[in-house]
Structure 1
């Protein structure tokens, strides 16, 4: 599997300039057309406005790419048959010549392989509800336990088992810090209802933790920077609780299981909040991208 790094990203990494990795699943599978393309280009521009280089990651025709040009972003946004690729799928996609959008786990892995240290996303995957029955846990967690990258996210998706996910991250040795908060955010919500042990208040503090990870020669695990969506842009908590409860009942009644659960629940939330959950999702992603670029600049010493 040959990793193709764009000239802009390769030169920025070699020169020690700030670079931010961006996943492509939100482009191909997270947003409707044509809004998905507009958002993809907007997020790249937000990284540039903060003085960093965006590195959107995807697999095209079997070739993993770190840093896409506009035409390649348009392919991910508009082409039929774009697969959703976790890190386990990369070799299969490469060997078969498939094209796919990368999830958190695949993006983090490819970014680290390209020498990128900072990655912005919306929300992490985690431990699913009724884990004791389903044994359903996102591949994100295990990959982050063995990949040295800083992930700026809005916590984990609120459809998951948040306390179990936090416990799992602790067990795996993945460092978690709230950004400007001692509460763990819940993706659509500023506060999931659960605390975090550590708080970081500036990009420089985050960069200092990253440097300490290296100086102490700690295991190659990630740093999760949990950045809450602003309260005035979050999904109304009462609406969220009511619609999520309805979604969980509908999911069980329909017999939905496995990988189909998450898209079913997220689609239910979008439809039954009249798009408010999608607006909160985008507000979170925009904030995470901007913060990630500032962290990358602090890491680069800018």
Structure 2
């Protein structure tokens, strides 16, 4: 057992009994939206996973401990503390742990800690990727390298639409990461059901996806899998609305010199403001949708 790892008793019992568990990230709590909406949403996502037959395991770093499964009090703490908690990717972990700090886990670190605990399915909003203009900035999310190396399937609504979707898919292909479209041949664009790019394969059931996961890892093909799950149609935002908001946010990012780990929170916050809050509602609904699919995949994987 990892000396820094604390697995919630309910999660540990489920893993030992081969029952389905779905990992959840904590950056969406501390950095994704204001209090108390962040806590309400986090608890609703956990409840959705339970309603669909799996155990939720929200992941965070608290007091230098890697937490797999949080109490309501710990989720409340993350929500209230908010931006004061360090957004933690792979590079940050040695210092965060050694100094016994708190950390909100990104997609990359959630995957890492889930894998340490033996959790194979992770539901989130959208993965990070290659940022627009990366040919000069080299701004590429650590999420992509984690997907290349860590055996966890990530259920998402595609990569965040503020990113370069085409280059993100090229990067994943180079690193051997399958991009599976759930009931779609088209890569979803987070707030929107469609982009101009295709996925590697369309699979139409949770059982098919679980079968692909099992085959991949039984052949010792290292790395994760992206399960791209389009946002429900009634919550999909018009590209005529969302695309100009993204373009304006990107211009402001450049003008204000925002870089590195602050880029994505800045862009998502500005897009929310520019769309009058509509993007926040869409964001919440796509996470709930991914939680439902994540639970179904986890159940199928345990039964495979």
Same fold (TM over 0.5): yes
Partner in structure 2 of residue 295 of structure 1: 297
Partner in structure 2 of residue 91 of structure 1: 94
| 8 A contact 1:76–1:100 mirrored in 2 | no
| 8 A contact 1:21–1:119 mirrored in 2 | yes
1:217 CA drift (Å): 2.4
Partner in structure 2 of residue 262 of structure 1: 264
C-alpha separation in 2, matches of 1:125 and 1:298: 26
Partner in structure 2 of residue 192 of structure 1: 195
Unpaired segments ≥5 residues, structure 2: none
C-alpha separation in 2, matches of 1:63 and 1:258: 25
Partner in structure 2 of residue 28 of structure 1: 30
Partner in structure 1 of residue 280 of structure 2: 278
C-alpha separation in 1, matches of 2:241 and 2:274: 9
Partner in structure 2 of residue 248 of structure 1: 250
Identify the match of residue 205 of structure 2 among 202, 205, 209: 202
C-alpha separation in 1, matches of 2:300 and 2:260: 40
C-alpha separation in 1, matches of 2:259 and 2:86: 20
| 8 A contact 1:19–1:296 mirrored in 2 | yes
C-alpha separation in 1, matches of 2:117 and 2:286: 26
C-alpha separation in 1, matches of 2:178 and 2:126: 16
Partner in structure 2 of residue 53 of structure 1: 55
Unpaired segments ≥5 residues, structure 1: none
Partner in structure 1 of residue 71 of structure 2: 69
C-alpha separation in 2, matches of 1:288 and 1:275: 21
Q: C-alpha deviations, 1:181-217, integer Å up to 9, x for none?
A: 0000111111122111200101100111011113322
Aligned residues: 301
| 8 A contact 2:179–2:201 mirrored in 1 | yes
| 8 A contact 1:200–1:206 mirrored in 2 | yes
Partner in structure 1 of residue 156 of structure 2: 153
1:231 CA drift (Å): 2.2
SS at the partner of 2:297? helix
Alpha-carbon RMSD = 1.2
| 8 A contact 2:182–2:202 mirrored in 1 | yes
C-alpha separation in 2, matches of 1:153 and 1:233: 15
Partner in structure 1 of residue 170 of structure 2: 167
Partner in structure 2 of residue 214 of structure 1: 217
SS at the partner of 2:60? strand
C-alpha separation in 2, matches of 1:215 and 1:257: 40
| 8 A contact 1:12–1:19 mirrored in 2 | yes
Q: C-alpha deviations, 1:193-252, integer Å up to 9, x for none?
A: 21112001011001110111133222x110110000022211221001121122222222
C-alpha separation in 2, matches of 1:96 and 1:71: 22
SS at the partner of 2:195? strand
TM-score (norm. length: structure 1) = 0.97
| 8 A contact 2:23–2:58 mirrored in 1 | yes
C-alpha separation in 1, matches of 2:260 and 2:303: 44
Identify the match of residue 118 of structure 1 among 121, 136, 147: 121
1:64 CA drift (Å): 0.7
1:263 CA drift (Å): 2.0
1:101 CA drift (Å): 1.1
Residue 230 in structure 1 maps to residue 242 in structure 2: no
C-alpha separation in 2, matches of 1:240 and 1:15: 44
| 8 A contact 1:25–1:103 mirrored in 2 | yes
C-alpha separation in 1, matches of 2:133 and 2:287: 28
